[in-house]
Amino acid sequence: MNHCLDCGACCASFRVSFYWAETDAHPGGCVPAALTLPISPYRVAMRGTESAPVHCIALQGQVGQGVSCSIYAQRPSTCREFDVDDPRCNEIRGRFGLPPLPEVPLAA
Ligand code: SF4
Ligand code: SF4
């Protein structure tokens, strides 16, 4: 079961920043540059995550109901590295009134 498809809380909680060369403006990059904005000389962020209220421009659907990432295959490393094994997962699910996932460790 993929709990993330009924959640999306992390896509509406954090600034999703990453090295600018991950965008398709750079040879070998894949994240659509048009969906990002620069935050420093070498880093960009997904639009919608640079300031509160956070909601990634690529997030489709309603948090806590049904969601998808419109650039899933091209999402940045920041997103690839965050999953239900991260202790912050249940913490941010709670902020949206979502129940904890039993198999996820609690944040310290
Ligand atoms: S907060 Fe956890 S369950 Fe929700 S989308 Fe992110 S990784 Fe998936
Ligand atoms: S790019 Fe996709 S996975 Fe990453 S924060 Fe945005 S909607 Fe979520």
Q: Is residue 104 part of a domain?
A: no
Domain count, the chain: 1
Task: Provide the pLDDT confidence category of residue 1 given band limits of 50, 70 and 90.
Answer: confident
Give me the domain span that covers residue 78. Answer: 3-95
Asked if residues 43 and 37 have their Cβ atoms less than 8 Å apart, the reply is: no
Give the distance from CA 108 to its chain's centroid: 21
At 54-98, the pLDDT tens digits run 999 999 999 999 999 999 999 999 999 999 999 899 999 999 999
Q: Which atom of ligand 2 is nearest to the CA of 49?
A: 5
Is the pLDDT confidence value at 29 over 70?
A: yes
Ligand 1 center to residue 46 CA distance, Å?
17
Q: Is residue 108 part of a domain?
A: no
Whether the ω angle into residue 41 lies within 30 degrees of 0, i.e. cis, is: no
Q: What distance in Å separates the CA atoms of residue 105 and residue 61, rounded to the nearest whole number? A: 26
Q: Is residue 21 part of a domain?
A: yes
56 lines ligand 2 (CB under 6 A): yes
